[in-house]
Amino acid sequence: MAGDGDRRDISATYLQPFLSYTTKTFTTFGVNTESTYDWKSEQWSVPVNFTVTQMLKTGSQPLTLQGGVRYWADSPDGVGPKGWGFRLAVTLLFPK
């Protein structure tokens, strides 16, 4: 046992399956989940993410732009997130 003995025990499993498809124009469509199962409370947290990513260059700098939505398919009652979320990302790439 590690940590404070007053805290409840934790037993969880994390799963992150994904599926992506990249086109000839370097657009990637993806779907994944970042699911967690709490074995103590026997509850799932299941966000499902849908993303679109485009690789491009600004000047000589390659980068990716990503947008996506997240839907919470399941979460613990009363304490977990619900509904929809959004994601935006810019990633600078530095190839060798």
Q: Which two tokens stand for residue 74?
A: 């399941």
79 contacts: CB under 8 Å, gap ≥ 6 = none
pLDDT above 90 (res 65): yes
Q: What is the mean predicted confidence (pLDDT) over 82-88?
A: 95
Report the alpha-carbon distance of residue 51 to residue 93 in Å, rounded: 19
- pTM of the entire predicted model: 0.80
DSSP secondary structure letter of residue 7: S
Nearest Cα to Cα of residue 38 among 85, 73, 75: 75
pLDDT in tens, 10-36: 899 999 999 999 999 999 999 999 999
